[in-house]
Structure 1
């Protein structure tokens, strides 16, 4: 799905637009009431901090509309799920995980190649490959695998290009046996996508499903929302993948021409960069303050819009506020995220890491000279 599809940010009818406005008002009132703070204080609260970090590079309306569509435009249900998501992100330590990145994962599990992103499908969606036979139940602590899953979903968000809002998952069942069947983990991922990352899955293709898997599917499908079930397709032959994904974006192990996945560990520069940004308390304070200022301005403008001001001047101001929010978040990123395998292989392009690092090094060199 894209920003231009019906019910998405650039294609809303009057009723949907009014529902979006009501959703913003209701969300901010809920946070204000539950935290016993004014709306002006929301950005500096723990929930406000989690909210705007979770928005990230996105247009905030895109995030809000995900929950509205997932909850069939029921404002109270959408707001409740969004509040639950903010609480989950805080309790689960999602932002702490993003700050540590791959250093927080078990390297043996990352190197196993059982799950990774590679290229895009013909609709422009990033593709996540999961080779089920490489997951052995209880080989690694389930908490570690859950962290890998959460970080993968967050990484996938950075792989979305332009107006694309969803990703594709390829489940390779070749060699599947019951020692690979992990119902607890399956439930976790279903809940992850349905409750905390709604409207993120565009397509799921299951290839090589052996007969034994269908008895597992008979159990699993009852846990899956019908909307998501309709996005799942079973393919008998690898060649059928070519209908959805160009061979150049398919790994060789699935008869494509793209080199198979091989994890690229952090470089010395990556480690030095990470240490420098974490040590730069003053720099972090400055970019965080700028991001919070942009968030406050965005909320103020959004509330005016939500309460009925649709003048061209305000609409343009809100558009610029959205851009400013994104720009200040980008400056914040090196202090709260890390570079990953996908940065090192060139699939994710975030030049802010290099730009900010050069500025930081120059600033530190100037301090030495002045000393």
Structure 2
């Protein structure tokens, strides 16, 4: 059973199929490689690093929905996203995690995740009061923003695909309104992480900033504008999010956010995996083979083969893709604050670390 495809009508399924065909062709054209070679390309690598643990169809459907099922527009923007990820250095940011960001800025508590709303969306809390324009260089704040967006994807539990964002405007003044950073966030979500927002809740809005809001609103797409809701009371917020998962400063019962920095154990795990170049090469090769096989089966499906054997093989290929990415993860990402507080659970870090340190068997991988 594929909950993604099972909930699509025939027209949308056909659009997804065509998107896969067009995307593979586009990457092939960009890289001058054959279809069966794009797994080894920069853009093929960026695509499946972006997919990560997810069902690959989900990623394409995000763009299809955001571009109103226009296949050409969707594929064009995916290619632009792959170029952006490569040029901007998203993989490097993920590989180093909080080491690549100002921990002083993280500790301000200007943005963090805490709990889920009543529909199961992760909740991102943003407190503009804690952001003072010019306190940190723009590139620092941009890295923190991208890191947060990448982090929320690990907080999602299928079939949920979106996040709820709370903007708590209490105490905010003109010095906190960083239009450069706001524009960066909007561009990020619209162009490179589409269809990610479920609700945008604005609390304690000081109407003296009404002109600033009018400008920001003009930057939002009509789709995003419809997701914005001004919250005027504690009762309104509680309708959407149980107070037991919210911090005290947002009418909740949880302690307010406090950043927990990397521990000695985290650093030991990080250093062991960065030194294990052989293990990384093995894991990368296994993941590339899984990508190659998944693309081969997906092309057969997209070109009209909907036999039970192909559907079954595609399901197995998807599972193998996820498995090999899990084995690769400790080499290309790192534990974070959310791992340390038990919100993100990736046992592979500890399992693979113990295996390496104790000299047990190599990571389990499957080649096609």
Report TM bin, short chain.
over 0.9
1:120 matched to which residue of 2?
116
Aligned equivalents of 1:364, 1:280: Cα separation in 2: 14
Q: Deviations over 1:261-282 (max 9, x none)?
A: 0000111000000000000000
TM-score (norm 1): 0.95
Verify the 8 A CA contact 1:9 1:65 in the aligned structure 2: no
Verify the 8 A CA contact 2:355 2:361 in the aligned structure 1: no
TM-score (norm 2): 0.96
1:175 matched to which residue of 2?
171
When structure 1 is superposed on structure 2, of 242-251 and 211-220 the one drifting more is 211-220
1:83 matched to which residue of 2?
79
1:196 matched to which residue of 2?
192
Secondary structure in structure 2 of the residue aligned to 1:218? helix
Q: Deviations over 1:176-210 (max 9, x none)?
A: 10000111111100000000000001001000001
Aligned equivalents of 1:282, 1:210: Cα separation in 2: 56
Verify the 8 A CA contact 1:9 1:62 in the aligned structure 2: no
2:236 matched to which residue of 1?
240
How far has the Cα of 1:238 moved from its partner?
3.0
Verify the 8 A CA contact 1:85 1:195 in the aligned structure 2: yes
2:49 matched to which residue of 1?
53
Q: Would you say 1:359 and 2:339 are equivalent positions?
A: no
Q: Would you say 1:23 and 2:19 are equivalent positions?
A: yes
1:64 matched to which residue of 2?
60
Moved over 6 A (4+): none
Q: Deviations over 1:87-137 (max 9, x none)?
A: 000000000000000000111101001100001110010000001111000
Aligned equivalents of 1:67, 1:281: Cα separation in 2: 35
Aligned equivalents of 1:9, 1:312: Cα separation in 2: 14
Q: Deviations over 1:46-82 (max 9, x none)?
A: 1111111000001000000000111111111000000
Aligned equivalents of 1:83, 1:9: Cα separation in 2: 23
2:207 matched to which residue of 1?
211
Verify the 8 A CA contact 1:116 1:261 in the aligned structure 2: yes
1:306 matched to which residue of 2?
302
**Number of equivalenced pairs:** 361
Which of 279, 285, 300 pairs up with 1:289? Answer: 285
